[in-house]
Amino acid sequence: MGLRFVLPLLGALALAAPARADFRMCNQTSDRVSVALAYTDGKTWVSEGWWNLKPSDCDTLVQGALAAEFYYVYAMDERGGEWKGKAYMCTNDREFKIEGREDCFARGYERTGFFEVDTGKDAKNWTVQLTDPTR
């Protein structure tokens, strides 16, 4: 499977819709994707998943004003394609919410590479678009 691309969109989507304060994920691929999210409150790291998005579907992963500047995302599609990075967090095969990002294997979790999303210091909402390389 080839490389995948991520297009963060803020301005146009935020202006076109009623004022909302959320972190949203949209699936602009031709396959269903499963998404995990990680973030910190400044003290504790939390990773959670899975959100399952059908093609052309969007979902809110964090409701309300964004509390962090950086969020971390991992996604995979039904055919083995991945959107990943070098920020390692703990995950599980089933629905999960895990505190901490250290000692994943020792605690019975997987260690998964997430990609970083920089929402900026003053962003109140953010939307990430997962896309196929052909789009």
Q: pTM, whole model, 2 decimals?
A: 0.80
Distance CA 61, CA 49 (A): 9
**The predicted structure's pLDDT at residue 117:** 93
**The predicted structure's pLDDT at residue 68:** 82
Q: What digits encode the pLDDT tens for the residues 5-56?
A: 444 433 334 334 444 568 899 999 999 999 999 998 788 999 999 999 999 9
Distance CA 30, CA 27 (A): 8
Q: What digits encode the pLDDT tens for the residues 121-132?
A: 877 788 999 988
**The predicted structure's pLDDT at residue 134:** 57
Average pLDDT over every residue of 85-112: 96
Q: What digits encode the pLDDT tens for the residues 72-88?
A: 999 999 888 899 999 99
Domains of the chain in start order, with CATH, are: 5-131 (2.60.40)
Task: Kindly report the number of other CB atoms within 10 A of residue 57's CB atom.
Answer: 14
For 62-94, give one letter per residue: b (16+ CB within 10 A) or e: beeebeeeebbbbbbbeeebbbebebbbbbbee
